[in-house]
Structure 1
Amino acid sequence: MTPEAVVFDIGNVLIEWQPERFYDSRIGVDRRRAMFAEVDLHGMNDRVDLGGNFRGTIYDMAEATPAWRDEIRMWHDHWIEMASPVIDHSVRLMRALQARGVPVFSLTNFGIGSYDHAATFYPFLREFDRDFISGHMGVIKPDPEIYRRLEETSGIAPDALLFTDDRADNIAMAASRGWQTHLFEGPRGWADRLIEAGLLTKEDAA
């Protein structure tokens, strides 16, 4: 079946998201490993993605962990440096689909404040035909509820949705619901998948 809509994850699909790489460059590999072993930074980020206050959630963790206070605050204060650079080819694919009249949705684990912050640097985040942002929905992938809500809100049958994400667990959940899927490992492979689906030509996908 030719997909009726294409669903993009954002982190590591449209924008690189590599907190460890950022901290390696700022505090060194050894100190970064020690901090991540002692502090559940990804769990903290999940709370933001579930709708927690962007600055407040991070600063509260920093105050509760004085040994790493300044470093934890970097998660907020230097957030855009962690969420970079843009994966330009993926953005071109998104816009090429829309130019052909294919609706493009986001389905992303992203906080309310962090998404608004990111959109000031990356205006294409305001160009989706529909946004499904976990912070506003109060649920994160791979919880099946977030997929169900996208199906319900869009009114598109699961097998008519084509979804790309860089995480295998998120892809597996979508596939279990009947979605067409693509595990994102780079924009070239995603371009080939969109061509294979009949949504773009080779010229469109360049």
Structure 2
Amino acid sequence: MIEAVVFDIGNVLIEWQPERHFDTFMDPEDRKRLFAEVDLHAMNDAVDKGGNLPELCAALAERHPEWREQILRWNADWLQMASPAIPQSVRLLRALRSKGIPVFALSNFGIGTFAMAEEKYDFLQDFDRRYISGHMGVIKPDPKIYQMLEEDCGVAPEALLFADDRSDNITAAKARGWQTHLFTTPQGWADRLVVEGLLTPEEAR
């Protein structure tokens, strides 16, 4: 029996497509070259482990002066990259909460970037518990982050239902005995919550 539902945030509740944003102000071929030559996603992983985004961006820009302006946009445009919200997923979160079903967040997110997101997206306050990697010092799919959630919330692994858009994060959760859903669309997630008996079809709309 499911006792708590766990949401990832990026690409589950909020779209996270940095390449798409960079394509709005760069030639797509130049953007592909930038992302091939500069590991912006590795820098973001360091932010999600607790690093300071402006400092890490500035340091990376110093190492790649030919891309300095574009690299600094990762910091300047961060909220534009983390957008928009996914409305149906937000409704599902709130529908579960309104029924008294515990809802947790488990997300790779920086300390400073999560603070920015909270100001923009009020629904990030709606969780019963929030497990944010920057504060935990470890990111998915490291098994430690799943263990930390289990130990803190006291819910048995098999009683957790977890939605994430990345298959490696899902695989890691499955290995600990969690029930999982690979998120591809909000309707697919809604259907799963209905199948599990957590929401009615009307509540999941």
TM-score by length of 2: 0.99
Aligned to 2:164: 165
Report the Cα offset of residue 62 of structure 1.
1.3
Aligned to 1:37: 36
AA aligned opposite 1:50: K
AA aligned opposite 1:43: A
Aligned to 1:121: 120
Question: What is the rounded CA distance, in whole Å, between the counterparts of 1:171 and 1:40 in structure 2?
Answer: 24
Report the Cα offset of residue 118 of structure 1.
1.0
Alpha carbons 1:110, 1:134 under 8 Å: kept: yes
Report the Cα offset of residue 59 of structure 1.
1.6
2:109 matched to 1:110? yes
2:178 matched to 1:179? yes
Alpha carbons 1:165, 1:171 under 8 Å: kept: yes
2:22 matched to 1:20? no
Alpha carbons 1:98, 1:104 under 8 Å: kept: yes
Report the Cα offset of residue 154 of structure 1.
0.2
Residue aligned with 1:26, SS:
coil
Question: What is the rounded CA distance, in whole Å, between the counterparts of 1:146 and 1:97 in structure 2?
Answer: 24
Aligned to 1:8: 7
Which segments of 5 or more consecutive residues in structure 1 lack a partner in the other structure?
Answer: none
2:92 matched to 1:93? yes
Question: What is the rounded CA distance, in whole Å, between the counterparts of 2:68 and 2:165 in structure 1?
Answer: 30
Report the Cα offset of residue 37 of structure 1.
0.8
Aligned sequence identity (%): 61
Question: What is the rounded CA distance, in whole Å, between the counterparts of 1:99 and 1:61 in structure 2?
Answer: 44
Mapping for residues 142-153 of structure 1, pairs under 5 Å: 142-153=141-152
Report the Cα offset of residue 198 of structure 1.
0.8
Question: What is the rounded CA distance, in whole Å, between the counterparts of 2:6 and 2:62 in structure 1?
Answer: 38
Q: Which moved more, 1:55-64 or 1:195-204?
A: 55-64
Question: What is the rounded CA distance, in whole Å, between the counterparts of 2:63 and 2:6 in structure 1?
Answer: 38
1:117-169 Cα shifts (integer Å, max 9, x gaps): 11111111122110100000000000000000000000000000000000001
Aligned to 2:50: 51
Tell me the C-alpha RMSD between the 2 structures.
0.7
AA aligned opposite 2:129: R
Question: What is the rounded CA distance, in whole Å, between the counterparts of 1:88 and 1:64 in structure 2?
Answer: 39
Report the Cα offset of residue 171 of structure 1.
0.4
Which segments of 5 or more consecutive residues in structure 2 lack a partner in the other structure?
Answer: none
Report the Cα offset of residue 115 of structure 1.
0.5
Aligned residues: 205
Question: What is the rounded CA distance, in whole Å, between the counterparts of 1:28 and 1:88 in structure 2?
Answer: 30
Alpha carbons 1:54, 1:112 under 8 Å: kept: no
Aligned to 1:66: 65
